[in-house]
Amino acid sequence: MTTVDRLAPAHYEPVHVPHEVRRHAGRPEALPVGRPGKIGLLELGFDRVGGRTELVSRYQKSPLQIMRPLYFDPARPDLAVTFLMSTGGGIVQADRLRLDVRCGADSAVHLTTQAATKVHRMDADYATQQVHLTAADGSFVEYLPEPTIPYRDSRFYQRTVITAATSATVLTGETVLAGRLARGERNAYQVFAADLEWRRPDDRLFALDTVRLEPGGSGVTGPAVLAGHDLMSTFYAVSPLAPAAEIADTLHRALADGGLPYGVSVLPEDCGAWLRVLASDPPAVAEALHRAWDAVRRLLIGAPAPALRKC
Amino acid sequence: MTTDLDRLLVCLQLTDSAFPSGLYTLSHGLEGFAQAKAVDQDSMPVVLVDLLRHSVGPADATALALAHRAAGHADWATVAEVDRRLFASKLNREQRLAATRTGRQLLDTARLALGGEALDAYAELVAGRQAPGCHPVAAGVAYAAGRVPADHAVAGDLFAFAVSFVGAGLRLRLTDHRRAQCILREIAPVIAEVTAAALTRELADLGGCVPLADVMAGRHERSQARLFAS
């Protein structure tokens, strides 16, 4: 682990950047790739120690950091709730961020962010964020960051690789906004690209969600893409703790009366289920996702979703 | 018969809607849109163009192009990898079932009608569960077996998709026979554009992005009455 050269480009640059993003490669006059504050690294290791999950290893390099885990879920006092923080106030051009989180056997970890991730305006180069999350045997892992807001002229690529043991449970979700809606800014970003890869410990890919939104390219407002909606949210529940069809039914029921356009399906290899919802009302979507999260938690671990106080 | 003419005939045969791959059982998401009243006679061609650009092009057509190239080099490891990645990207159950069911039917008939080592080798991968047998990958191997050039193979299959889509539109009363032919002719530039992009896209970028079509597919799975399997 410690022999990795963390400041070598091979460590902080994604193996592959989609061409829609890569074509913006450039060298900003101020703070290019690799300068202080441009390579954000966060490596966390969690293990079950005694009756609860402890943070047993940590490496952090600004702007990414965490405070110590908190234990406030009344139904799961063993759950290490960890707030991922960025000291930079958002993602800016030429940022290369990388998070590596290892959740050991039988650990219980909740990862979230304190506030929305803002992707700022760019005029040279792009920004990338890689997240590598490993969920070992019997672990219960939640990765539920706050929404991402791509600002005008931003170019962003995010690659999330979740490697889950077949006995692990992983709940994750993401919301992307069309822009700073309060300012009337919609789909003014240049490109938002995100890959979510689900893998097994032998590296075999079993589910893949590829998001490519390029308003100035082939467009994002068409009837099959965003169709005029301002938000897109996705929620995944990969777990052996209930049959996939039952997880899907649970997600479906959780949103059935919400009046939002949503769809639920069973994931490949019956490893779980997922939910996609599109809307234009951020609080309604946040509430719908919370209902989905709460319902799936009750089904899988018999515990409701805790209230996460963020300010 | 010249070689070129023979390749054209293989291409016409594989893209013919009478080729028994079971495409006629699919609406490619259109029935979901129709049930949600999210499509009408005027917007149906717009949905088709959106699916071509954001779903079929980056996913299926790209897989077909990559599988065609790899099969031409007898690179079966790459064919299987393309097939598995495409399958993993089909996050909706109906679409996975549709892709593998029509893929296996196409493979069976193509082995009978065209034959050749390439189709046998791919069939072995599918039988051995090393490759899921998605329709676009089976088609890529079949076109390669018939020596159909890559651009004709990709454009031919995109056209077959469009024919199947407007055929579903006919049965859903979203168009009529004459209008359907006008749509197929009008989208030719889109098929050309999507073909060119599919021929250069890398495996790492394989995958569609059609959030609202995903929503419609999820709803279609739960609908009580339906004509189509997708």
Tokens of A238: 């990969």
Cβ–Cβ under 8 Å, residues A56 and A86: no
In a domain, A116, yes or no: yes
Residue A121 to residues A34, A37, A185, A186, B193, Cα–Cα distance (Å) = 19, 17, 12, 14, 30
In this complex, do A224 and B29 lie within 8 Å of one another by their Cβ atoms?
Answer: yes
- Count of Cβ atoms closer than 10 Å to residue B181 Cβ: 12
SS3 A270: helix
Cβ of A224 within 8 Å of Cβ of B206? The answer is no
CA gap B162, B159 in Å, rounded? 5
CA-based radius of gyration for chain B: 17
Mutate to test the interface with B, among A200, A264, A275, A280 (most CBs of B within 10 A): A264
Q: What residue segments make up the domains of chain B, in order of their start? A: 41-221
Task: Give the pair of three-digit tokens for residue B143.
Answer: 């076109």
pTM of the model: 0.96
Check: CB of residue B69 under 8 Å from CB of residue B150. yes
CA A78 → CA A72, A110, A112, A164, A238, distances in Å? Answer: 9, 11, 17, 20, 21
What is the number of structural domains in chain A? 1
Is the ipTM above a cut-off of 0.85?
yes
Chain A residues with CB-CB distance to B48 below 8 A: none
Give the residue on B whose Cα is nearest the Cα of A270.
Answer: B93
Contact between B215 and A212 using a beta-carbon 8 Å cutoff: no
CA B78 to CA B62: how far, in whole Å? 13
Nearest to B214 among A206, A212, A276 (CB): A276
**Best residue in A187, A232, A276 to probe B by mutation, most B CBs within 10 Å?**
A276
Buried b (16+ CB within 10 A) or exposed e, A54-69: bbeeeeebebbbbeeb
d(Cα A29, Cα A141) in Å, to the nearest integer?
41
**β-strand partners of A117:** A148
* CA distance to A146, A160, A210, A279, B76, per residue, from A285 (Å): 12, 22, 21, 7, 44
pLDDT of residue A2: 56
**Along the 311 residues of chain A, how does pLDDT read in single tens digits?**
557 899 899 999 999 999 999 999 998 887 777 777 789 999 999 999 999 999 999 999 988 988 899 999 999 999 999 999 888 789 999 999 999 999 999 999 999 998 999 999 999 999 999 999 999 999 999 999 999 999 999 999 999 999 999 999 999 999 999 999 999 999 999 999 999 999 999 999 999 999 999 999 889 999 999 999 999 999 999 999 999 999 999 999 999 988 999 999 999 999 999 999 999 999 999 999 999 999 999 999 999 999 886 65
Q: Tens digits of per-residue pLDDT, B173-194? A: 999 999 999 999 999 999 999 9
Residue A213's beta-bridge partner residues?
A: A192
CATH number for B41-221: choose from 1.10.390.10, 3.40.640.10, 1.10.4190.10, 1.10.630.10: 1.10.4190.10
Residue-wise pLDDT tens digits, A185-215: 999 999 999 999 999 999 999 999 999 999 9
DSSP state of A287: H
Set of chain B residues whose Cβ sits within 8 Å of the Cβ of A229: 212
Spell out which residues of chain A touch residue B207, defining contact as CB-CB under 8 Å: 195, 208-210, 212
What is the domain extent for residue A240?
Answer: 17-24+35-244
Q: What is the pLDDT of residue A257?
A: 87
Q: Which amino acid is at B186?
A: E
Q: Does A261 reside within a domain?
A: no
- pLDDT score recorded for residue A250: 98
| 3-state class (DSSP) for residue A246 | helix
**Token code pair at residue B198:** 């599919």
Strand pairing class (A148-150; A117-119): parallel
SS3 A233: strand
Half-sphere exposure of A11 (CA within 13 A, CB side): 16
Assess if residue A57 is contained within a domain.
Answer: yes
Which pLDDT score, from 0 to 100, does residue B1 have?
77
Summarize the confidence of residues B142-147 as an average pLDDT.
97
pLDDT at B118 over 60: yes
Closest CA to B26 of B94, B79, B74: B94
Reported as half-sphere exposure (CB side, CA atoms, 13 A), residue A202 has a value of 3
* Chain B residues touching residue A207 (CB < 8 angstroms): 88, 91
**A77: which DSSP letter?**
T
Q: What is the DSSP string of chain B?
A: --HHHHHHHHHHHHH-TTSSSSGGG--TTHHHHHHTT---TTTHHHHHHHHIIIIIIIIIIHHHHHHHHHHHTT-HHHHHHHHHHHHHH--SHHHHHHHHHHHHHHHHHHHHHT--HHHHHHHHHHHTTSS---HHHHHHHHHHHTT--HHHHHHHHHHHHHHHHHHHHHHTTS--HHHHHHHHHHTHHHHHHHHHHHHH--GGG-----HHHHHHHHHHHT-SS-SS--
Q: Which residue has the tokens 């020596």?
A: B147
Is B159:B23 a contact under the CB 8 Å cutoff? Answer: no
Beta bridge partners of A52: A49
Q: How far apart are CA B52 and CA B192, in angstroms?
A: 11
The answer to whether residue B110 scores a pLDDT higher than 70 is yes
- Whole-angstrom Cα distance, residue A64 to residue A85? 6
State yes or no: pLDDT of B60 exceeds 60: yes
C-alpha to C-alpha distance for B144 and B123, rounded to whole angstroms: 14
**Residue A94 located in a structural domain:** yes
Residue A211 included in any domain: yes
Interchain contact, B207 vs A210, CB within 8 Å: yes
DSSP class of A48: E
- With CA atoms as reference, the chain B residue closest to A213 would be B209
- Which residue type does B7 have? R
Tens of pLDDT, residues A221-272 = 999 999 999 999 999 999 999 999 999 999 999 999 889 999 999 999 999 9
